[in-house]
Structure 1
Amino acid sequence: MKLFAVLLLFIGNSFAEEFHFSSINFLTEQEVGRIVLPQIYSELGIVISITPLPAQRAQLSATSGVSDGEIMRIFSYGIENPTTIRVPTPYYYLETTAFVHKDKDIVIENKDHLEKYFVAKVRGVKHTNRITEGHSQVIDMNSTIEIMRMVDSGRVDVALTNTIDGLMALKELGLKNVIAIKKPLATFDLYHYIHLDHKHLVPIVDAKIIEMTKNGKLTKIVNAAEQKTLLSKYQTNE
């Protein structure tokens, strides 16, 4: 508690400033983050705004300092982008899952099995980039909707995305022939990234995430955000 108080005093009047972050558009986990992260900052008395962008534009905005960072990315993002600082404690997670046509004889039990198939993924998304690194039969598309349509039409064998994101896309499209494999290929913690210009925020935000994790408040906020995101998608497509 003493450290937290000292840090607050150190920042001083900078909390009066509003911070602006980027997110990746059209991804369910990012929509959850757009609800959760402002509430974490609100606990600190800080107002933030978030602009959804295509993944590569979100990254460029954050790393160049046009925005003050990104709301959530996997661990390796911080290694690849040294102008941003990773808030050490994750506040969400994602699963990398393969989606296939149910009538095709496709067996994927681990990431190495992907090499046998033609894979579609969303352009610029780090977790699917990592899992397909070195694979020759990979195509990038602009959205999860597009990659699911590619599988349904037989133009690719596999669509790779976050589990919940893929399931929501299938719901939106009303597709019955595309299914998720039983076991995710990987699970990644998701971290908030802040541009170097605002590195003073990192320990403050991290301390708040730890506090909210321990007292159970973060879990409640995440659960409510997931429900709100899913309900919003259902209502949009009814």
Structure 2
Amino acid sequence: MKYLYLLFCLLSLPLYGQSYHFASINFLIEQEVGRIVITEVYKRLGINITITPLPGKRAQHETAVGLNDGEIMRIYSYGEETPSTIRVPTSYYYLETMVFSKKGSGVNIKTPADLARYQVVKVRGVKHTDNITKGLKDITDTDNTSQMFKLIQAGLADIALTNKMDGLVVLKKLGITDITPQTQHLDKLPLYHYIRKEHINLIKRVDNKLKEMKKSGELAKLITIAEHEVFKRKALYKMQN
């Protein structure tokens, strides 16, 4: 009985140095920036995390059923669609929903309603482009941003939808110069970290750390470092291939 009592006491102690596992969406530039940023935020809290890049729908499913502890970066509506998670209230990045098209194509899109006139291509499972094309019929999903632009080059689509930074980096990596973004984005959305509800205390700690880093300017510096690292990595990949 004595040993059982000691074992019970040990199991009742709080766990220090606990690790968490999160998902990100694969092949998107903003998610790569997010992986660097959110890892550093947790590091400053003394917490180890691992991040697995997955297709968007699979990442959401695995989070919803508890196969991981949350997602590193999603838009606001993700929280409404995934009730097993809680949105960390402080956003830490943003994305711009941007139209990309071939030079000289005559594409001119001012509002989301204008998308209905064109053959649209987007990456599967990405919430901001899913939301903005909801109800449209002429939509093609791809696995990644590179595939989108190759379809436009081949004349199989009129426009591609993605985050502006993601599109520009991938176009540069592919060496494509005849596809460009429109002058104005269709939407600009803050991005949030999502954590499963059972980790309520973790949510508060991460939010407090993000607020602290925003106020001190550390978050902005960290984002700049992360963006430069991702751009450098993509440039190196292009030279090696």
Tell me which interval the TM-score lies in, with the shorter structure as reference length: over 0.9
Cα-to-partner distance string for 1:129-184 (whole Å, 9 max, x where unaligned): 01101111111110000001111111100100000100111111111111100111
Secondary structure in 1 matching 2:79: helix
Matched residue, 2:44: 43
Check whether the contact 1:95–1:185 (CA below 8 A) recurs between aligned residues: yes
- Cα gap change, 1:151/1:209 in structure 2, threshold over 3 Å: closer, same or farther? same
1:158 is aligned to 2:159: yes
Check whether the contact 1:172–1:237 (CA below 8 A) recurs between aligned residues: yes
Secondary structure in 1 matching 2:14: helix
Q: How does 1:64-143 map to 2 (within 5 A)?
A: 64-143=65-144
Specify the code of the residue in structure 2 equivalent to 1:35.
I
Q: How does 1:157-196 map to 2 (within 5 A)?
A: 157-196=158-197
Cα-to-partner distance string for 1:75-106 (whole Å, 9 max, x where unaligned): 00000100011000100110000000112111
Specify the code of the residue in structure 1 equivalent to 2:153.
D
Matched residue, 1:223: 224
1:199 is aligned to 2:212: no
- Cα gap change, 1:15/1:30 in structure 2, threshold over 3 Å: closer, same or farther? farther
Check whether the contact 1:93–1:188 (CA below 8 A) recurs between aligned residues: yes
* Identity between Structure 1 and Structure 2 (%): 46
Distance in 1, Cα, partners of 2:208 & 2:219: 13
Question: What is the CA RMSD across the aligned residues, in angstroms?
Answer: 1.0
Distance in 1, Cα, partners of 2:33 & 2:124: 20
Q: Which 4+ stretches in 1 moved above 4 angstroms?
A: none
Check whether the contact 1:71–1:193 (CA below 8 A) recurs between aligned residues: yes
Specify the code of the residue in structure 2 equivalent to 1:135.
L
Specify the code of the residue in structure 1 equivalent to 2:49.
I
Matched residue, 1:22: 23
Structure 1 window deviating more from structure 2 (90-99 vs 13-22): it is: 13-22
Shift of residue 60 of structure 1? 1.1
Matched residue, 1:236: 237
Shift of residue 62 of structure 1? 1.2
Secondary structure in 2 matching 1:136: coil
Secondary structure in 1 matching 2:114: helix
Structure 1 window deviating more from structure 2 (16-25 vs 195-204): it is: 195-204
Shift of residue 14 of structure 1? 3.6
Secondary structure in 1 matching 2:50: strand
Matched residue, 1:33: 34
Structure 2: stretches of 5+ with no match in the other structure: 1-12
- Equivalent pairs, count: 227
Distance in 2, Cα, partners of 1:170 & 1:14: 46
Shift of residue 13 of structure 1? 3.1
Check whether the contact 1:15–1:45 (CA below 8 A) recurs between aligned residues: no
Structure 1: stretches of 5+ with no match in the other structure: 1-11
Distance in 2, Cα, partners of 1:232 & 1:187: 25
TM-score w.r.t. length of structure 1 = 0.93
TM-score w.r.t. length of structure 2 = 0.92
